[in-house]
Structure 1
Amino acid sequence: MTVEALRDLVVSTLDEHKGGDIKVIDVRAQTDITDYLVIASGNSDRQLRALADAVATAARAHGTRPLGEEGLTAGDWVLVDLGDVVVHLMRPESRDFYQLERLWGELPRVRGQSETH
């Protein structure tokens, strides 16, 4: 699976499972750690865990094994590391506080298959 196909799979999975305000940031020119950051919101701890599980399950079904998942018990910020794509799932309050989109400055924003958010 190409990195772009994985990125699009993550976006469509989050969209299907009602992830909010989905953003994709292209970080290839800034870091060797990953190619894309995908950031989405969930309204409850339960929704964040469900979104993380849906992303991990979809990735596995397409041959990509998650390298790690963090924050499943903390509840306000869950990270799913798929290697070339790192997914940040956050409660709106945490997302406003940490402002990951601003942290990465004026990097190119990319969207996968869905443009609904």
Structure 2
Amino acid sequence: MPTAEEVRDLVVHALDEHKGQSIETIDVRCQTDITDYLVIASGTSDRQLRALSEAVVEALRGRGVRPLGTEGGAGGDWLLVDLGDVVVHLMRPETRDFYQLERLWGDLPRTREQDGR
């Protein structure tokens, strides 16, 4: 079974490979027992958000990790994939700007992946 860090890295790689935008990870271990990392990424349409979600699930299936649950769906501006130690939030840019999840977690350790690979 992969570690939380390995799951996080697999998620980021899958999102990057499928053109996820503004990928950011937040280490929330010191603030909650629910999960270790949040991964937040944007997609330009609900179709791309679904494709990103499917890419994450498929990438982890090969490593024996199955999602505990998923939320959102057709026509949604926000999809969530709960992988236990890692929770993935996929949002359209305007939804992400509105909810500003990154701001809710303050100054916790984070990484931001470079766009424009």
TM-score range, shorter chain: over 0.9
Distance in 2 of aligned mates of 1:9 and 1:17 = 12
Deviations 1:46-105 (A, max 9, x none): 000000000011111111010001001242000000000000000000000000000111
Instruction: Provide the TM-score with structure 2 as the length reference.
Output: 0.94
Residue 33 (1) aligns with residue 39 (2):
no
Distance in 1 of aligned mates of 2:108 and 2:114 = 21
Structure 1 residue runs without a partner (length 5+): none
1:1-117 correspondence runs (5 A): 1-110=2-111, 115-117=113-115
Query: Which sits farther off after the overlay, 29-38 or 68-77?
Result: 68-77
Instruction: Provide the TM-score with structure 1 as the length reference.
Output: 0.94
Count of paired positions? 114
Query: Structure 1 residue runs of 4+, over 4 Å off?
Result: none
- Seq. identity, %: 74
CA RMSD of aligned residues (A): 1.0
Pairwise CA distance, 1:116: 2.6
Distance in 2 of aligned mates of 1:95 and 1:85 = 18
**Other structure's SS at 1:12 match:** helix
